[in-house]
Amino acid sequence: MNEWKLLKNRFSEYQFVSIENRNSEPVNTQLIGSDTSAYLVDVNIQFVKTLEVPDRVSSNIVVHQALDHNDQILELADFQFSKFTEDSELANRNGDQVYLQWLINSFGKSEKFFAISKNENGLVNGFLLHSYFENSCVVELIAVSKVSSKSGIGTELFKAVEEFSCQRGIKEIKVGTQVRNMAAINFYHKVGCKQIGCHQVYHLWNNGM
């Protein structure tokens, strides 16, 4: 409880605080609900997959490091589920631009990798942005063209990243998504990921500052 009191005092120092309740612990849920005006904006589902050398994937998937700016990738950045838009306060602050800016900021960075799929006309129809931390590959963003949805491109992208990660000696892939994004949850189960966490995310706004 002393730690919670210290945290509450720190909260008042900021206009905005994002509070993560790891593993959605009921005791923490009660404290946040009774002692703050924070509200639940997201339940983040975490997955992991232990890597084994996968089968060879489609040759049209290429992994790029420090990829140059690519407008075709930006055109695919239509992410329906985001705490940045579901929180009205963030939505009013251009929250719908967060993922777009995330991609823009990833271009040209040596620590960022894009797995890219192209159609028969050479146009990008899917990408998977990922990075590496210690022995893990972290999936940051994945998108497939609406025209190409349910065509297996997402699976090919994921398998390509598996193969590329294994070549780097990486042991596992980690990825997170929102509890309401059932399509993503089903996809990660389909490609062999195991759910390992369920974390509540609360937002606290001190609008008087």
Residue 11 lies in a domain: no
Calculate mean pLDDT across residues 163-174.
Answer: 94
What is the pTM for the complete model shown?
0.91
Q: How far apart are CA 132 and CA 203, in angstroms?
A: 28
Q: For the residues of the chain, what is the DSSP string, one character each?
A: -HHHHHHHHHHTT-SEEEEEEGGG-HHHHHHHHHH---EEEEEEEEEEEE---PPP--TTEEEEESPPP-HHHHHT---S--HHHHSHHHHTTTGGGHHHHHHHHHTT-TT-EEEEEE-TTS-EEEEEEEEEETTEEEEEEEEE-GGGTTSSHHHHHHHHHHHHHHHTT--EEEEEEETT-HHHHHHHHHTT-EEEEEEEEEEEE-TT-
Average pLDDT score over the chain? 91
Cβ pair 173, 182 in contact under 8 A: no
Residue 81 lies in a domain: yes
Calculate mean pLDDT across residues 20-44.
Answer: 94
| Statement: residue 15 has pLDDT above 70 | yes
Residue 62 lies in a domain: yes
Structural domain harbouring 135: 19-205
State residue 95's pLDDT score: 84
Q: How far is CA 165 from CA 64, 105, 108, 134, 159, in A?
A: 13, 22, 20, 12, 10
> Per the structure block, which two tokens stand in for 22?
């790891």
pLDDT (tens digit per residue) in 43-97: 999 999 999 876 666 678 999 999 999 999 999 988 887 888 888 888 888 888 8
Q: Domain of 171: which CATH number?
A: 3.40.630.30
| Statement: residue 180 has pLDDT above 60 | yes
Residue 209: which pLDDT band, with cuts at 50, 70 and 90? very low
Residue 4 lies in a domain: no
| The total number of structural domains that make up the chain | 1
Residue 32 lies in a domain: yes
State residue 147's pLDDT score: 81
Main-chain phi, psi angles of 174, to 5 degrees: -120, 145
Question: Taking phi first (over 0 means left), then psi (-120 to 50 degrees means alpha), and beta for anything else, what does residue 33 get?
Answer: alpha
Going across the sheet that includes 172-178, the strands are: 16-21, 194-205, 39-50, 172-178, 136-144, 124-133, 113-118, 61-65
